[in-house]
Structure 1
């Protein structure tokens, strides 16, 4: 069975819905999940608003696909991406797809690819509609990637912004996030209420494909959960390797 980093990935990018400034950091992120064997970007390259893409495409070896807008008000780029994705699927040369767009029109494509056993990673801005987000195995907001601009938080704060966060959060830790953590811990906890943090993290992504500690200003899940000691007990257990500890968590019992 292939590990995550062994995956061969097809990267298809909607130039109309992704800023060129995000591409370098996005490709670095994709490298964490596998090797991009197809790298294509779709748009009408005769339009002046896409002129800034040229140097970015050359630096990242991304193939531009020309798609004219045949009819006013219709997005021919989306159709071209969907057709190419299905063609790539039937070559059986990839293990997954990275769909880069903030457009909900790719929701059905993501579902179809997953039905065929493909891993689907979505990339888009915060404005991306939820149907497309939940259709992916994992969804990454472009705003949290290195070199991307950050947005203002949009939900009520429960805990203060962490002093050691390396990047401004795009969301704040609210009651819904605390409830998501609590339910996920309880779903897989042992008889004493403890759950391995790694397993909790995997379950969080299955429940919320857009879950990522970086959304809340943390590089990793462990420092995020440590900032929530008001809500969770933490137990760092020794392993056979002195430099490695396994982190277990459980929800604090209400007084």
Structure 2
């Protein structure tokens, strides 16, 4: 089986549902999962609201697909995207698809592509309906990508030359946490993390972080540590030291660190003996 980084991915973009200013961040994110071998964007290019796409299309080699709006109030570009997706599916050219849209109309398409064994990544705004999110293997919020890029220059300015990567990562993490739009870690999220750790833990209660991340993505496709202001899962768990223990191990040969998580045992409370009257 091909490595994740070698997977060929078709990126299909609904221009009516995404801003041209975000496309570079989106493509960079897709490259974490594979190679964007097909890049197409759908719109009625005769409309004035899509004129801002001209330069990004040239810069990122994205093929524009013209679709006229035959009826007022109807988004005909959705149909063109769906038809193209099915044509690409049956051509066996790619291993997965990225659908860039916040429109629930693509829910059935995502389900159909996954039924055919293809990986489906959704990219959209936080207003995206839950059925479309649930239909994807992974869903990424555009707001997260924009936020991360916004704090990146600030983190670099704060980092002196010659510092280690660990210091840089810490500075960047602090910069992201300083952005006031991140979400608080609520009880539902903690319950998700605890349940997942418990399900993949060994007899000693320790669970490998890689297995935790994989299972969380299956249970909640839109889960992302960056929502809560953390670049990775490890610092997220470390911030929740009231609930979890984090241990890093490395082998002598490879020196590669493996992270393990364990649920902290609840504090034992002494119950007072009741006295019968």
The answer on 1:35 being equivalent to 2:67 is no
| Higher mean C-alpha deviation, range 164-173 or range 79-88 | 164-173
Counterpart residue number, 1:60: 60
The CA distance in 1 between the partners of 2:174 and 2:104, in whole Å, is: 31
Determine the C-alpha separation between the residues in 2 that align with 1:76 and 1:191: 55
Q: Which residue in the other structure is 1:87 paired with?
A: 87
**Counterpart in the other structure of 2:77:** 77
Q: 2:12 & 2:254 partners in 1: Cα distance?
A: 43
When normalised by structure 2's length, the TM-score is: 0.84
Structure 1 residues 242 and 113: alpha-carbon distance in aligned structure 2, compared to 1, 3 A threshold? closer
Aligned pairs, number:
244
Give the conservation status (yes or no) of the 8 Å contact 1:12–1:98. Answer: yes
Aligned-pair CA distance for 1:198? 1.2
User: Using the alignment, how far apart are the partners of 1:15 and 1:213 within structure 2?
Assistant: 27
User: How is 1:80-119 mapped onto 2 (pairs within 5 angstroms)?
Assistant: 80-119=80-119
Structure 1 SS opposite 2:193 = helix
Cα deviation digits, residues 146-166 of structure 1 (max 9, x gap): 56788xxxxxxxxxxx98434
| Runs of 4+ displaced beyond 3 Å | 146-150, 162-166
**Aligned with residue 196 of structure 2, among 184, 203, 206:** 184
User: Is 1:206 matched with 2:218?
Assistant: yes
Give the superposition deviation at 1:222: 0.8
Report the TM-score, using the length of structure 1 for normalisation.
Answer: 0.91
Confirm or deny that 1:195 pairs with 2:204: no
Q: 1:171 aligns with which of 175, 179, 183?
A: 183
Following superposition, the deviation at residue 104 of structure 1 comes to 0.6
- Deviation sequence 1:98-124 (CA, Å, 0-9, x none): 100000110000000000011111111
SS at match of 2:25: helix
> Matches of 1:147 and 1:221 in 2, distance apart?
18
Q: What is the root-mean-square deviation in Å for CA atoms of aligned residues?
A: 1.8
Give, in angstroms, the shift of residue 245 of structure 1.
2.1
CA 1:89–1:171: 2 relative to 1, 3 Å: same
Alignment deviations for residues 127-186 of structure 1 (CA, whole Å, 9 cap, x no partner): 111111111111111111156788xxxxxxxxxxx9843423532211111000000011
Looking at structure 2, the residues matched to 230 and 147 of structure 1 have their Cα atoms a distance apart, in angstroms, of 28
| Structure of higher CA gyration radius | 2
Equivalents in 2 of 1:180, 1:6: separation in Å?
A: 31
**Matched residue, 1:145:** 145
**Counterpart for residue 11 of structure 2:** 11
Indicate if the aligned counterparts of 1:9 and 1:96 stay in contact, CA closer than 8 A: yes
Instruction: State the alpha-carbon separation in 1 of the partners of residues 91 and 138 from structure 2.
Output: 23
Q: Offset at 1:209?
A: 0.7
Partner of residue 167, structure 2: none
Question: How far, CA to CA, are the matches of 1:194 and 1:224 in structure 2?
Answer: 17
CA contact (8 A) 1:21 1:148 kept: no
Inter-partner Cα distance in structure 2 for 1:175 and 1:241: 40
